[in-house]
Chains A and B, each alone.
Chain A
Amino acid sequence: MAEKFINVTLKIWRQKNAQDAGKMVDYPLKNVSTDSSFLEMLDVLNEELVAKGEEPVAFDHDCREGICGMCSLYINGEAHGPDRAVTTCQLHMRMFKDGETITIEPFRATAFPVIKDLIVDRDSFDRIMQKGGFVSVNTSGNTQDANALPIRKEDADNAFDAATCIGCGGCVATCKNASAMLFVSAKVAQFSLLPQGKVEAQERVKNMLHQMDVEGFGNCTNTGACEVECPKGISLDNIARFNREYMKAAVLGSE
Chain B
Amino acid sequence: MSDTGLTKTSIGRKILMALSGGFLMFFLVMHVTINAISMFSPETFNTISHFMGTNMLIQIAMQPVLMLAVVFHLSMGVVLEMKNRKARTNKYAMNNGAANSSWMSRNMIVTGIMVLLFLLVHFVDFWIPEMVTKYANGDMTGLLPDGGMRYWEELHHKFANPVKVGIYVLAFVFLGLHLMHGFQSAFQSVGFRHKKYTPVIEKLGVLYAILIPLTFIVIAIFHFTTQQ
Which residues of A are in contact with B by a Cβ distance under 8 Å? 11, 13, 24, 74, 76-78, 82, 103, 105, 108-111, 114, 174, 176-179, 181, 203, 206-207, 209-210, 212-213, 216-225, 228-229, 236-237, 239-244, 246-247, 249-250, 253, 255
The chain A residue with its CB closest to the CB of B2 is A210
The dominant DSSP class at the A interface is mixed
Known A213-B9, A222-B185, A247-B190: A77·B87 in contact at CB below 8 Å: no
Nearest-neighbor residue (CB-CB) of B102 within chain A:
A223
Number of interface residues of B (CB under 8 A): 44
Q: Is B219 an interface residue (CB 8 A)?
A: no
Residues of B within 8 A of A (CB): 1-6, 9-15, 80, 83-84, 86-97, 99-102, 105-106, 108, 181, 184-185, 188-193
Residues of A within 8 A of B93 (CB): 11, 13, 24, 103, 105
Q: Decide if B100 touches A240 in the complex (CB within 8 Å).
A: no
Q: Is the CB of B15 within 8 A of A110?
A: no
What are 30 A-B contacts defined by CB distance under 8 Å? A24-B93, A77-B92, A78-B100, A110-B87, A110-B88, A111-B87, A114-B90, A174-B100, A176-B106, A177-B84, A177-B88, A178-B84, A206-B2, A206-B4, A207-B1, A218-B86, A218-B88, A219-B10, A219-B13, A223-B106, A224-B105, A225-B101, A228-B101, A236-B193, A243-B190, A247-B15, A247-B190, A247-B191, A250-B5, A250-B9
Cβ of B72 to closest chain A Cβ, rounded Å: 16
Which chain A residue lies CB-closest to B185?
A: A222
**Cβ contacts under 8 Å, A247 to chain B:** 15, 190-191
